[in-house]
Chains A and B, each alone.
Chain A
């Protein structure tokens, strides 16, 4: 599922924009690192979400333990990656019982 949570910004406009017009180009890589730091440090303690730069957008993937955790991840991502295009594929862990056993 693709769930845009931001707007297309300078970093999403292709390589040409990476050089910037004036001043330093924005370094998206460090913003992704800061997102990871926040997901781990705040109420979530979340280390299982991956954020990767793909074609100028950020792709978030992973499995979280509850719907509320998913909402928190999306909120923090919106804050940390404001102005960037973010695609999220965060799923909530399945808590159903297994339908078979493995014979060993």
Chain B
């Protein structure tokens, strides 16, 4: 059995220093690893990122993260990534990593993802250059997720997890105004997950959404945005049934 803890959208800043650390220190009791599903900061500033880094530095379980749109706002995601990596966090963008757990190897494929919407109500790669670039951004992200999941197929993992910030499905957006779904996720991410295969997909971003969903191909999706799960993190046990 593999125990995956996950949370997103913790939006840390100087005033929230230390709020999550007490709960994070209990992680070894209930989880083998911690996934951070993006929007770890409010603006993606180095100062805010250092608060996140102090919150997770030295935790006794591996920490794997993707960035969110907030972490890009100050337009220095490389700096955000570097500060988190220095604190021991594995930051993924279109990449895969394998974590050795007591219950087996768990592979995580991660990317921020982007918007575009869901089948029948989605943006198309058509028209103005900025519109085409919008959809191509999501497509590139989905393609990288697909490649990362395929790469994990060769690693003999007991479980594969897709980690994104934007949502692969509309299910977990229930509670958000439908009009903004194209800004909350894209079916391209789900298509990548379903064609490459995964045991669980974890995302954040949609604060008003719901925790539980599923892709068209039957992969469980969990929205772990902190306002949705209403706790420091959620824990999913894979392979226990």
Contact = CB atoms under 8 A, between A and B. Distances in A.
Interface of A: 43-48, 50, 62-69, 93-98, 100-104
Interface of A is mostly: loop
Contacts of A47: 70
Interface in B12-44: 12-13, 15-16, 19-20, 22-23, 26, 30, 42-43
20 contacts: A45-B11, A45-B43, A65-B13, A65-B226, A66-B13, A66-B15, A67-B15, A68-B15, A93-B10, A96-B231, A96-B232, A97-B23, A98-B30, A98-B231, A101-B236, A101-B237, A102-B237, A104-B199, A104-B220, A104-B241
Contact of A104 (B23, B43, B73, B200): B200
Given A62-B207, A63-B207, A93-B226, A98 B232 contact: yes
B1 to A, nearest CB: 9
A100 B11 CA distance: 24
A62 B227 contact: yes
Nearest to B228: A63
A63 B20 contact: no
Nearest to B74: A45
B23 A95 contact: yes
Contact of B26 (A63, A67, A97, A103): A97
Given A63-B226, A66-B15, A101-B30, A95 B232 contact: yes
A104 B238 contact: yes
Contacts of B226: 63, 65, 93-94
Given A62-B227, A96-B232, A101-B237, A45 B30 contact: no
A50 B229 CA distance: 18
Given A48-B227, A95-B19, A95-B232, A104 B10 contact: no
B232 A102 contact: no
Interface residues of B, number: 37
**4 nearest A-B residue pairs (beta carbon):** A63-B227, A45-B42, A101-B235, A68-B15
Nearest to A68: B15
Contact of A98 (B19, B42, B233): B233
B220 to A, nearest CB: 6
B207 A65 contact: no
Given A45-B43, A48-B207, A94 B230 contact: yes
Which of B22, B220, B231 gathers the greatest number of chain A CB atoms within 10 Å?
A: B231
B111 interface: no
A39 B224 CA distance: 23
A62 B226 CA distance: 12
A97 B240 CA distance: 21
Nearest to A67: B15
B241 A50 contact: no
A69 B10 CA distance: 13
B185 to A, nearest CB: 15
A47 B23 CA distance: 25
Contacts of B42: 43-46, 65
B11 A65 contact: yes
Given A45-B73, A48-B208, A63-B226, 14 more contacts: A46-B42, A62-B208, A65-B13, A65-B19, A65-B42, A69-B15, A95-B231, A96-B232, A97-B23, A97-B30, A101-B3, A101-B234, A103-B240, A104-B199
